[in-house]
Amino acid sequence: MPAALRRLLALGALAAATLAAPAAAQAQATVSVENQTRPTRCAEEDNVSLLLRGSITRLRVEALQPAYIEQIAQDTTAPDFSGCNFDGGDHPTDPKFTFTPRTVTLHEDAEWRIVGMTLPVFWRPQQVPVQVDSRRDRGFHMIQVYRRIDGAMKEALVMYPSDGYWRIKPLPLARFADGVYGSSLLLGPVREEGRPVVAIRDIRIRTQPAIRFDLRFTGGGSARIALAEVSRTRTALDVRFARAVPASRPFSVLRSMYVAPDNADISEVQWRTAGPDGAVHTEPLADFQRAAGVAEVSFGRSTPSRHNTSAPDIRYSAFGR
């Protein structure tokens, strides 16, 4: 074989290996999950904290109908303060900052509505700038996203600019007037400020060709969070960080409620380890402590809850670098 041809083949093999390496690394990207849940008797308190860490720059988060959704005859969505030391007002341990309340429609078309809401009282003073397409505003405590289904707008997502929380849920099944949120989650460099938060410098929301949130974090770094699907099956977010969150901090924390297996927004953890023959593990939330080498993890319920019955399961997957 001529030397020139041998060199050409060698270069081709090297190029193929170089191209294959990132794909293999992405396929094997894994995270760790740590349980910092504490007991409570209050069904309206976020006592569940599940911390996800890993050197990743992309992931998918989905809110899925609970496994028992077809068994639900009557969806129980009313709040339950029977075991709480507060009655639906401000949490007694929270700081209180006052604001002029307002509700603003930031975008509306035939399919979508985006609403900004400022509450009269909130636990953090931050007023984060928000831009929706070319419209600029600031100071919202909630940004709500609705999608039209069967002629009506139904809420599928709410995010909180001042503390970085997100809540997502599938669109409700036809026999329900609406679904109910359950767990909430943080996406970005999480830090502790009385509770876990993500500090956001500013938010830009684009509505075309699809809705996405571009976030810049106060301590540096950014994320692009796109609505990949909003349907009766799931609401899915595709998340991309400009750079990996340092391993010293979680890149996400799932916050939820657990009193008992039949009174919980999540009561079980199921995860799959990496590799073509990755093992699947399931543990009750009360027993789960930590898992490493996780390629996919779901937080859900197999026993119907007597509170927030239709609250969705939450699944993290597609971790990559």
pLDDT digits (tens, 9 = 90+) for 37-89: 998 878 778 889 999 999 999 999 999 999 999 888 777 767 777 778 766 55
Are 255 and 46 in contact by the 8 Å Cβ rule? The answer is: yes
CA separation for the pair 230, 212 (Å, rounded): 12
DSSP state of 70: G
| List of domains in the chain | 27-320 (2.70.98)
As beta bridge partners, residue 201 has: none
DSSP state of 69: G
Closest CA to 32 of 301, 242, 245: 245
User: Three-class SS of residue 270?
Assistant: strand
pLDDT at residue number 18: 36
Closest CA to 248 of 191, 295, 305: 191
pLDDT digits (tens, 9 = 90+) for 15-28: 343 333 444 444 56
3-state SS string over 220-260? Answer: CCEEEEEEEEECCCEEEEEEEECCCCCCCCCCEEEEECEEE
Which band of pLDDT confidence, cut at 50, 70 and 90, is reported for residue 14?
A: very low
How many degrees, rounded to 5, is the angle at CA 206 between CA 256 and CA 235? 35
